[in-house]
Chains A and B, each alone.
Chain A
Amino acid sequence: WPAEMIQAILVFNNHGKPRLVRFYQRFPEEIQQQIVRETFHLVLKRDDNICNFLEGGSLIGGADYKLIYRHYATLYFVFCVDSSESELGILDLIQVFVETLDKCFENVCELDLIFHMDKVHYILQEVVMGGMVLETNMNEIVAQIEAQNRLEKSEGGLSAAPARAVSAVKNMNLPEIPRNINIGDLNIKVPNLSQFV
């Protein structure tokens, strides 16, 4: 039996530029790039009002795998999973991941993924570890990340420079991931995070 795992988590923007690529199954480097491109083209073709699941491209294993994706403003979040996985469960897992990012970065946008790609990976590692869902409880994930951040602060303002750069850009004209996300017919409200801060 194939392991019921998440095969890959891909995040790319509306132009297909990868912003987060994490494979849990081994693919050669070139194939990984091709999978990202193929997945982008598969997802791009789809209107916003058709369903959020589709069969994996031929590179990743065709009908045995499923792509489950959400589109937020400039970014596509795609999870490639075994076809026996619960589609709706994964769809909400993506939501949890994005909400967590939003909480950790305070109004997350595409640039955060670029300038803090290491941090995005650390957050992802707390949600999905080695292809298996580790934690779905957002508070718990945030708590783990905050514990790690404290560690970082004690090391002394290492990331101060990039943070400044990001906020400078943010204040310019970048689209943020909207509060109100409308994917297909699912209408899920992301809680306004400012009230928690």
Chain B
Amino acid sequence: MPEAPRSGQPAPKGPNWEQADWTPPEEEKLIQQELSNLKAAVSAPTTTLKMMKECMVRLIYCEMLGYDASFGYIHAIKLAQQGNLLEKRVGYLAVSLFLHESHELLLLLVNTVVKDLQSTNLVEVCMALTIVSQIFPQEMIPAVLPLIEDKLQHSKEIIRRKAVLALYKFHLIAPNQVQHIHIKFQKALCDRDVGVMAASLHIYHRMIKENSSGYKDLTGSFVTILKQVVGGKLPVDFNYHSVPAPWLQIQLLRILRLLGKDDQRTSELMYDVLDESLRRAELNHNVTYAILFECVHTVYSVYPKSELLEKAAKCIGKFVLSPKINLKYLGLKALTYVIQQDPTLALQHQMTIIECLDHPDPIIKRETLELLYRITNAQNITVIVQKMLEYLHQSKEEYIIVNLVGKIAELAEKYPFVLVLNTVDTYAPDNAWFIQTMNAVFSVGGDVMNPDIPNNFLRLLAEGFDDETEDQQLRLYAVQSYLTLLDVENVFYPQRFLQVMSWVLGEYSYLLDKETPGEVITKLYKLLMNDSISSETKAWLIAAVTKLTPQAHSSNIVERLIQEFTVSLDTCLRQHAFELKHLHENAELMKSLLPVNKSCEDMVVDASLSFLDSHVAEELSQGAAPYKPHHQRQEEKLSQEKVLNFEPYGLSFSSSGFTGRQSPAGISLGSDISGNSAEIGLKETSSLKLEGIQKLWGKEGYLPKKESKTGDETEAPPVSQESIIENVDPTISKKDPSQVLAQSKEEKEKQLLASSLFVGLGSESTVNLLGKADTISHKFRRKSKVKEAISGEKTNAHNMTRSSFSSPTNVTYEEDYYLDNLRDRRDKELEKFALSAELLGSESLAEPPLVEKLSECRRPAPSLFADDMEVFHPPRSTSASLAGESSLASLLEETTEHMHSDLTEVCNTETMSLSSYKIWKDDCLLMVWLVSNKSGSELEGVNLEIAPAENFKITEQPGCCLPIIEAENTKNFQYSVQMEKPFTEGNLSGFINYQMMNTHAVQLEFSVNLSLLDFIRPLKISTEDFGKLWLSFANDVKQNVKMSESQAALPSALKTLQQKLRLHVVDIIGSEGLLACQLLPSIPCLLHFRVHGDVLALWFRSSCSTLPDYLLYQCQKVMEGS
């Protein structure tokens, strides 16, 4: 190939650009020379704009080569401001290449752009529109917006088209500012010029992607446009290689894809045109394949129609079988999209897929692996993972490694006891596979992989599967394989891998027969002495040594280690070493603290730190400041930072700011549940998790082990080998006879690979792509000790509920009886029982959908609590809604399963009334606005819009598109509201406009208040989960609240909290209660409370700092107020 000239400068007058063989240093010298010339030229007063234009082009060139030309930026702006048409054009170009949206110099250009937008010269307007859509400062959009809007009516198509795209750009960077012109986009869609229409599709594609339900009514229009394009109704001008407007077709097909997804009615509208598209795409040109691909994708994305699917599947075949590599790639991509709907397609193309696995093009390989990843099942897993690992070892790009490692780990964890095809063609469970696969993951994925991967692996290993002996073998194998790995000299493993090893060795070395714990310690010690190991990993290693020390006989090495690390410069390591030292001195204590194989036992922690009570009291009496939780300290710090303190520093405890709050140690809530707390959760050390170390000492002294719960588990009967193989067989024998003929050896290998890859995918065998219900997977289902036990308890409770609620009179009697009991506190068992019965009763009232899903037995006599529950009353119709009662009734029918507020009128006129109410749905707040027409004639053009609000995400719900309301009728508009960040009070405002016959339009504004409480939902969790969550939350707030007379008993207090604040009652223990709620979408908040006479001690914890404070305030309100 002849050497292409690499010119150093664009200048025609440049000295010797004809020299073809410049070396880079010379080039650099030349460019630098040129730059300094240019620098002098641009700042010289004698330089005319015409020369400046020339300079600018050269600067662009230098900048493109990577040299700094920033001295010319300001001159580019000047050129755009002052130049004539041609100079201005260069100026604008330079600006758009040099600067970025938030560059400060860009502000200097705004005026020029405004001026040019108003120019009568088309070229100037075009230039201004171009620069606006390339880079424009977001905050200056209002300055040009009206001008660009005007351009939508411009007589020239090119101007209209560019204006549409500029507005689209605004929609991307500042959607709020262009919301009012959506109607104009519709006009652009109907523009007589095809180019303008095509430009508007960019906007629609985007908006439909954001909210497809809002644009369903346009489906017909898009279908019509596509029909015309496909049918060749456009001018021949738009043909590209005799295909009518291919890019337009592609865009329309993508829009239809979004509209028809999961929507049968909309999909039906497009079946015809999709069919025609598939039919017409016969021409053998690249671009027809582009259309075909989009069309197939759309057919598979919209509501399925078998006839179309068949045709589309054939088309996929055309791609996959094409000799052209680009098309083959797209074929694989299409298969990946559709494989979950139609796994047989993978079978059809299995040979092609096998070929692609060994394709020299890495992107083809990646796509093939992606495809295989989606068809993994228990039978083909080993082969697929093998292929993925092969690819992984060749990859260098970090993002590819992270992605692949994640997928392999996910698959391996899904099928830990996979059946591996062994030499005699039978399947046998092999626990080595899981460990080996994970070893590969850890050594390649190393420190770039997602940290969840090692954590999950350890959890899986520790919790085990259903079969205890299998589990032990798996662990033993892990230990052995790690020891072997550590024996290899001069190999460096990633830190994360070493951490995993040290944890496993620490926990499970006791399973070894040959090596003694002492030997393992020796190996760990060797690692500890290695300088290349991070101190985080060293902490893991010391933890492992600590666990092994009680099992070891001799302790020379341990002592050496203690000596070495008690003087370490790393404080963390020193701390661990000292811990080890002290434990080492008391062998008995150490053995009981570090028992063997107990990593999954629950830890019992004295959360209230009650053993410190006397110390705290002493300190307080000596004038120490009471403890303040972290968030409170920060708040105070923030508020103090704003003002200078001119006062002399006083004693710290006299400072204001925490009235009524007490230190956690102030009141000791030492029950066994509330006792689980802080210590671990508060300071989550990322460095060391000594999960295996059981805490056996609480404030009452030695805490006996909990009884193992494994006894009451029901184990699924293991599936016999034969049945698994039977399941496998059909697909293996399903080979096409023609393929079997005349096979070369290589082909046979491929066939073999194919049969192992596509096993279990045939229609006869159970098709399960994600392997969730594989024939064998249930055997290895994870244990769910806790939940089963709890559900057992619950059914008990239900039965009792039913029996105790058999007749209303009976119930009242019993309730009274139990309440008496409660005050006496004599019969704790009965009391607890009565309470839970009552709560279950009211709970099932508050959560009807649950009741329906469960069985009838949970439905108690509803009259019992009806009086207390004004929240659940259907909204009483106000005068305005009389007309709308029928539709309201039907709406309520749909929504009765959720709680809702009363109907309130938000604004009205003589002819129309607008009222709203809130439905507290499980996953969002649904705002319903009812527009009722009070007049005798039709309301037209009724449109309700909600302004976007800062803290909310508002989505319009479908079903309200008709803009006409007949006389005396009601329509509703529904919006679902999600909170984006916590706040306490917010406002939702909007406007409604409508038109009466023959009068002008009316617009009314309204607003509705929303509070945080609207987004609080019960959080249904078990007591154990409560305990775990409680430990993990850092924000806590405590306060004592005095209850009003009527509330002064546990049950009524609970009821109030449950109903008014929508808290879920998790458990009741004696006079204490556990409640949980969540702030949508998923910020949990927990409440522990205790009754002392008429005082309620509340203790909130949450992951969010605002939530406890807010809920405390609300609790106070309801407890004191009512």
List A residues at the B interface (Cβ < 8 Å).
Answer: 1, 3-4, 13-15, 17-18, 20-22, 24, 26, 29, 33, 46-47, 49-55, 57-58, 62-63, 74, 86-89, 91-93, 96, 110-111, 114-115, 117-118, 121-122, 125, 129-130, 132-137, 139-140, 144, 147-148, 151-152, 155, 158, 161-162, 164-165, 169, 173-175, 184-186, 188
Question: How far, in angstroms, from A148 to B123 measured CA to CA in the complex?
Answer: 8
Q: Are B326 and A52 in contact (CB under 8 A)?
A: yes
Interface class of chain A by DSSP: mixed
Task: Find chain A residues with CB under 8 A from B206 CB.
Answer: 1, 3-4
Contact at A49–B325, with CB atoms within 8 Å? yes
In whole angstroms, what is the CA distance A186 to B50 when docked?
45
B329 close to A118 (CB less than 8 A): no
Chain A residue with Cβ nearest B61: A117
Report the bound CA distance from A57 to B362 in whole Å: 13
Chain A positions within 8 Å of B5 at CB level: 110-111, 169, 174
Residue A186 contacts which of B89, B202, B326 (CB distance < 8 angstroms)? B326
In the complex, which residue of chain A has the Cβ closest to the Cβ of B360? A50
Minimum distance in angstroms from B134 CB to a CB of chain A: 5
* A1-B210, A117-B64 given; A91·B86 CB < 8 A: no
The B283-307 residues at the A interface (CB cut-off 8 A) are: 286-287, 289-290, 293-294
By the criterion CB–CB under 8 Å, are B172 and A3 in contact?
yes
Interface residues of B in 86-102 (CB under 8 A from A): 86, 89-90, 93, 97, 100-101
A121 engages B93 (CB within 8 Å): yes
Chain B residue numbers with a CB within 8 Å of A52 are: 326
Q: Could you tell me the distance between the alpha carbons of A129 and B195 in the complex, rounded to whole angstroms? A: 14
Please, what's the 1-or-0 string for B190-224, where 1 marks a CB less than 8 Å from any CB in chain A? 00000100010010011001100000000000000
Bound CA–CA A14/B6 (angstroms): 11
B165 touches A129 (CB 8 A): yes
* Residue numbers in A under 8 Å from B362 (CB-CB): 54
Contact B4 A53 (CB under 8 A): no
Given contact pairs A21-B64, A88-B326, A140 touches B287 in the complex (Cβ within 8 A): no
For the complex, is B792 an interface residue (Cβ under 8 Å from A)?
Answer: no
Q: Across the interface, do A134 and B363 meet the contact criterion of CB distance under 8 Å? A: no
Cβ of A91: which chain B residues have Cβ within 8 Å of it?
286, 290, 326
Pick from A51, A57, A137, A161: contact of B325, CB under 8 Å: A51
B397–A88 contact, CB under 8 A? no
- List the B residue with the shortest CB-CB distance to A49: B325
| Cβ–Cβ contact A89 & B247, under 8 A | yes
The answer to whether A86 touches B290 (Cβ under 8 A) is yes
Chain B residues in 8 Å Cβ range of A174: 2, 4-5
Give, as a whole number of angstroms, the nearest-CB distance from B252 to chain A: 12
B4 touches A15 (CB 8 A): yes
Cβ contact within 8 Å between B12 and A51 = no
Q: Can you list 10 residue pairs at the A/B interface with Cβ under 8 Å?
A: A13-B4, A51-B361, A87-B329, A87-B330, A88-B287, A89-B247, A114-B7, A117-B10, A155-B84, A186-B324
Bound-state CA distance A1–B360 (Å) is 33
**A148 to B343, alpha carbons, bound, how many Å?**
55
Residue contact A50 to B86, C-beta cutoff 8 Å: no
- The 8 A CB mask of B129-159 against A (1 = contact, 0 = none) is 0100110000000000000000000000010
B735 CB to closest chain A CB, in angstroms? 29
Q: Which residues of A contact B90 (CB under 8 A)?
A: 118
User: B403 at interface (Cβ–Cβ under 8 A)?
Assistant: yes
User: Which residues of A have CB within 8 Å of B65?
Assistant: 17-18
Contact A26:B287 (CB < 8 A) given known A51-B363, A151-B86, A173-B2: no
Tell me the residues in window 322-336 of chain B with beta carbons closer than 8 Å to chain A beta carbons.
Answer: 323-330
Task: Given A110-B4, A175-B4, check contact A92 B287 (CB 8 Å).
Answer: yes
Assuming A50-B361, A88-B326, is B2 touching A135 (CB within 8 A)? no
Inter-chain contact A96/B100, CB cutoff 8 Å: no
B66 beta carbon closer than 8 Å to chain A? yes
Q: Does B85 contact A (CB under 8 A)?
A: yes
Q: Does B991 lie at the interface of the complex (its beta carbon under 8 Å from any beta carbon of A)? A: no
Q: Does B71 contact A (CB under 8 A)?
A: no
Task: Check A158 against B330 for contact (C-beta < 8 Å).
Answer: no
Distance to closest chain B CB from A103 (angstroms): 15
- Tell whether, in the assembled complex, residue A122 and residue B168 are in contact, meaning their CB atoms are under 8 Å apart: no
Closest 9 A-B residue pairs measured CB to CB? A88-B290, A130-B133, A185-B324, A62-B399, A50-B361, A33-B66, A51-B325, A162-B12, A165-B12
A18, B250: Cα distance in complex, Å: 31
A70: min CB distance to chain B, Å: 11
| Interfacial residues of chain B within 247-283, with CB under 8 A of chain A in the complex | 247, 250
Q: Which residues in B have their C-beta under 8 angstroms from that of A74?
A: 1, 4
State in angstroms the CA–CA spacing of A18 and B31 once bound together: 14
Across the interface, do B12 and A88 meet the contact criterion of CB distance under 8 Å? no
Q: How far is the CB of B581 from chain A (nearest CB, A)?
A: 47
**Chain B residue contacts of A17, Cβ below 8 A:** 6, 65
Q: Give bound CA distance, A88 to B247, whole Å.
A: 10
A152 touches B246 (CB 8 A): no
A148 to B61, CA, bound (A): 22
Interface residues of B in 154-193 (CB under 8 A from A): 158, 161-162, 165-166, 168-169, 172
B237 within 8 A of A: yes
Residues B323 and A185 in contact, CB atoms below 8 Å apart: yes
- Nearest-neighbour CB distance to chain A for B269, whole angstroms, equals 23
A184 cross-chain contacts in B, Cβ below 8 A: 324-326
Task: Please tell me which one of the listed residues B165, B293, B398 contacts residue A88 in the complex, with CB atoms under 8 A apart.
Answer: B293
Q: How far is B17's CA from A162's CA once the two chains are assembled, in angstroms? A: 12
